[in-house]
Structure 1
């Protein structure tokens, strides 16, 4: 599967087919979930180019129709595909502390004193706010911290770095086999 280039930004991911007429669930990463339809055409992570013709909310899901997809079997070919758009299709960010998730991934993290802390592997939101997934060293087990100003007070996209202030509970963990007090 081709890797997206730096000029592409992930805006969503398809889920399962919905019904028999070609509709499909869509996980939208845009601020307003239905706003994803305002972008496109989209390049999928398998290289296909698609156009979303309509979106609607049903319960807690976004349901999409895609041009040329007319039945359940065709919709299933889109399952789990990621939707990318060119960075130039996105509006300029107005606030100094607003970031596209794609710009945060790969940033080097440092403590306030300059000590290396890891890199941002991904940005996730499981419903309670943005979390950064941190890879402390290449191949090491990752962990999450909240992406808040208190935890990540400084982000410098141009230099490729961010400062992290880990919460106290993440700093001193007993080693395996040691007794906790």
Structure 2
């Protein structure tokens, strides 16, 4: 099962296919026969091959894992149709996804899949609505939440327990304690007095 509460999925900032959960990300080629290294985000890394064809964040590309073995923290795998190092290297950075509805439901209220957060209302602990969660990006040491305030540009916030201390899936919201100034631009309305010419 995918790790529902991972805050350490590394990789380029890419938007997940709608309604899908990230299971792993392909890294560098391994050897000369088309094998690749895969960073798995599943509880059992070797379970990656059990999901059948995997959707990717590269348009039009699906991937099916062949043989696989575990080497320390990485899965070393063959990809069906990939037979040489050049083809394997071309897959570096590709994210591997499955539809959310193909995964088992979580048993604990504190567990969730990242796809479950899309559409939640983001608000402060004081009850102020900040916007709606529209995407989750896997970038650097922490995941990033994209929050869209009403009538304003999207805002990116770190998806850490410090910044997002509370998630209430059943109630349809999460609480954000944003770093100072994160939502300031979203609060500026067109025609704000600060934008007016003081001489007018």
TM-score by length of 1: 0.71
For the structure 1 residues 30 and 3, does the alpha-carbon distance in structure 2 shift closer, same or farther, using more than 3 Å as the test?
closer
Contact 1:103 1:157 in 2 (8 A): no
Displacement of 1:139 in angstroms is 4.2
**Who is 2:26 aligned against?**
14
Contact 2:66 2:77 in 1 (8 A): yes
2:158 aligned residue (144, 148, 153)? 144
2:87 aligned residue (74, 78, 87)? 74
**Who is 1:38 aligned against?**
50
Displacement of 1:108 in angstroms is 2.6
Displacement of 1:114 in angstroms is 1.7
**Who is 1:92 aligned against?**
105
Displacement of 1:10 in angstroms is 2.2
Runs of 4+ residues over 3 Å off in structure 1: 117-121, 123-127, 130-141, 170-173
TM-score by length of 2: 0.65
Distance 2:103 2:125 in 1: 32
| Unaligned 5+ runs, structure 1 | 174-181
Displacement of 1:82 in angstroms is 1.8
Q: Any idea what SS the aligned residue of 2:116 has?
A: helix
Displacement of 1:86 in angstroms is 2.2
Displacement of 1:147 in angstroms is 2.9
Contact 1:131 1:147 in 2 (8 A): no
Distance 1:20 1:40 in 2: 24
The answer to whether structure 1 residue 24 and structure 2 residue 41 are counterparts is: no
1:49 aligned residue (62, 67, 70)? 62
Distance 2:138 2:16 in 1: 19
Displacement of 1:23 in angstroms is 0.5
Contact 1:39 1:85 in 2 (8 A): yes
Displacement of 1:80 in angstroms is 1.9
